[in-house]
Amino acid sequence: MDITGAVERFVAGRWIAGPEIQDSIKVAKRLNRAGLSVIINYLGEEIEDKAKIKKTIDVYKNLIEEMKTNRINGSISLKPSQIGSRINAAMLAENYSKILDLAEKEGIFVWLDMEQPETVAKTIHLYLDAMPRTNAGICIQAYLRRSGKDISSIANAGGAIRLVKGAYNPGIHGYSSRADVERNYRSLMHDLFIKANRFMIATHDRRLIREAIGLSKSYKKTIQYGMLNGIENKYAAELAKSGESVSLYLPFGTDWTEYSYRRLREGSHALLLAASLFRNQSV
Ligand SMILES: Cc1cc2nc3c(=O)[nH]c(=O)nc-3n(C[C@H](O)[C@H](O)[C@H](O)COP(=O)(O)OP(=O)(O)OC[C@H]3O[C@@H](n4cnc5c(N)ncnc54)[C@H](O)[C@@H]3O)c2cc1C
């Protein structure tokens, strides 16, 4: 028996809906019943095979239709490197706008995930080129020094921003200590309240969430909160019950290794990971 594989599958199973679109729909329905919206992602990244990219676009097309048919309260989120960034900018832009059009027709919002620091400028360019769009948003990472300027240009273009701490290695482009990342997150969050109208505070950090709730009252702005499925579902449902708008990022598919390792790194304090594995995740 492959013990490592079995452990990996068990761990991934906490965060990932399952291999098929229908698995994501089933989990999405359960989360919707608990008052939570979903951000569904088809797993896959760094794709260089054109046939696989085409299959990915087809999966997103089917996913959008299934979400509409099943009246799922949710959006989708995709990675540039799964829809053509590893081939060339033209293919990426064509595929991105194809998905935006399909989703727009069905009233579904499309988030762009943010990947490694070297890809950030191109991803922001892709997003801004597609504006103005009401159904498109982009992720911005607080561990990067450039993010303040990016928030200003995206907010000026009327874009929607999902603020995260960042899941890759920021290297020379960013802050490496947890304290510095948290400080920058806090500062960018204040910028968002001042400059932007559509944004999501995507973190499990309760101090930041509490602060955002306070700011949303002072600025009289209704905002969204985002968390990853399987980490703090109970807390997310409590927040939703208290009247906040909360979405859970919900991946599905079979390409789960990279996603799972990023989550394991974040929970690398063994206690944190154990807590998320065994905490009551009843929603
Ligand atoms: C909706 C959403 C979308 C995202 N999209 C992107 C993206 O496009 N690009 C990108 O680079 N990153 C993305 N991320 C990931 C993000 O950058 C962080 O890596 C991740 O959210 C963990 O950081 P944190 O803000 O929760 O803070 P942390 O300080 O890492 O965690 C705060 C608390 O949350 C709990 N926690 C967090 N992660 C774990 C874990 N894996 N296991 C157990 N407990 C944990 C712990 O209690 C911890 O103390 C996204 C995150 C969310 C919520």
- β-pair partners for 78: 112
The answer to whether 281 and 233 are in contact (CB under 8 A) is: yes
Residue 39 to residue 110: CA distance in whole angstroms: 9
Instruction: Output the six-digit token pair for 10.
Output: 């068990």
| Complete domains list, the chain, with CATH | 17-255 (3.20.20.220)
Residue 209 to residue 256: CA distance in whole angstroms: 28
The answer to whether 162 and 138 are in contact (CB under 8 A) is: yes
Pick the more confident residue, 226 or 265: 226
Instruction: Output the six-digit token pair for 130.
Output: 């597609």
- Residues touching ligand 1 (Cβ under 6 Å) are 39, 113-114, 139, 141, 162, 164-168, 202-205, 226-228, 231, 249, 263, 266-267, 272-273, 276
Nearest ligand 1 atom, CA 111: 8
Residue 260: its pLDDT value, please? 81
Among the ranges given (2-11, 43-52, 210-219), the one the predictor scored with the smallest mean pLDDT: 2-11
Nearest ligand 1 atom, CA 276: 43
Give the Å distance between the CA of 72 and the centre of ligand 1. Answer: 24
Flag whether pLDDT at 9 surpasses 90. no
Flag whether pLDDT at 262 surpasses 90. no
Say how many CA atoms lie within 13 Å of 271 toward its Cβ: 0
Nearest ligand 1 atom, CA 143: 17
Smallest CA separation from ligand 1 atom 27, residue: 205
Residue 13: its pLDDT value, please? 76
Residue 109: its pLDDT value, please? 98
Residue 50: its pLDDT value, please? 97
Helix or strand holding residue 6 (H, E): helix 3-15
Give the Å distance between the CA of 227 and the centre of ligand 1. Answer: 7
Q: Please report, for residues 192, 203, 225, 231, 272, the alpha-carbon distance to residue 281 in angstroms, rounded to integers and kept in the order given.
A: 31, 17, 18, 8, 14
Give the Å distance between the CA of 90 and the centre of ligand 1. Answer: 31
Residue 2: its pLDDT value, please? 63
pLDDT tens digits for range 154-171:
999 999 999 999 999 999
Residue 259: its pLDDT value, please? 84
Flag whether pLDDT at 280 surpasses 50. no
What is residue 249's three-state secondary structure?
strand
Smallest CA separation from ligand 1 atom 40, residue: 267
Give the Å distance between the CA of 278 and the centre of ligand 1. Answer: 18
The answer to whether 126 and 93 are in contact (CB under 8 A) is: yes
Confidence of residue 7 (pLDDT cuts 50, 70, 90): low
Smallest CA separation from ligand 1 atom 34, residue: 204
pLDDT tens digits for range 48-94:
999 999 999 999 999 999 999 999 999 999 999 999 999 999 999 99
Residue 111 to residue 199: CA distance in whole angstroms: 11
Average pLDDT of the residues of the chain? 92
Query: Residues of the chain with pLDDT > 70: what percent?
Result: 90
Give the Å distance between the CA of 231 and the centre of ligand 1. Answer: 9
The answer to whether 250 and 17 are in contact (CB under 8 A) is: yes
Give the Å distance between the CA of 235 and the centre of ligand 1. Answer: 14
What is the CB neighbour count within 10 angstroms for residue 158?
A: 13
What is residue 200's three-state secondary structure?
strand
Question: Own/partner pairs for 201-208, CB < 8 Å, 24+ apart?
Answer: 201/163, 201/225, 201/226, 202/139, 202/162, 202/163, 202/164, 202/226, 202/227, 202/249, 203/163, 203/164, 203/165, 203/227, 204/228, 204/231, 204/232, 204/235, 205/165, 206/235, 208/182
pLDDT tens digits for range 95-124:
999 999 999 999 999 999 999 999 999 999
Confidence of residue 14 (pLDDT cuts 50, 70, 90): confident
Model confidence, pTM:
0.93
